[in-house]
Amino acid sequence: MAETILDVKGMTCPLPVLRTNKVLRGLSAGERLRVLATDRAAVADMQAYCRESGHALLAMSEEAGVFSFVIRKKAEDAT
């Protein structure tokens, strides 16, 4: 399954989560979004966002100061 990539490197809180939410709204249920961010706050923010919105945070990693989050859109979008 292909995944959409959202590059929010250089953006600070709350922009990475706001942009993530906007892109996820345009995806179909079950599709994956990979978010690339450099803001350290994005780690806690993405975890909280996924927990509260019901989307699945499938993977999270960091390499050379870039955080990568793989999110699967929930089956029903009530937002």
13 given a catalytic annotation = yes
Q: What letter does residue 64 receive in the DSSP assignment? A: T
For the chain, what percentages of helix, strand and coil (3-state, to nearest 5) are there? 30, 35, 35
Retrieve residue 77's tokens.
Answer: 């979008």
Catalytic residue, from 11, 13, 15, 43: name it: 13
Which residues are tagged catalytic?
13
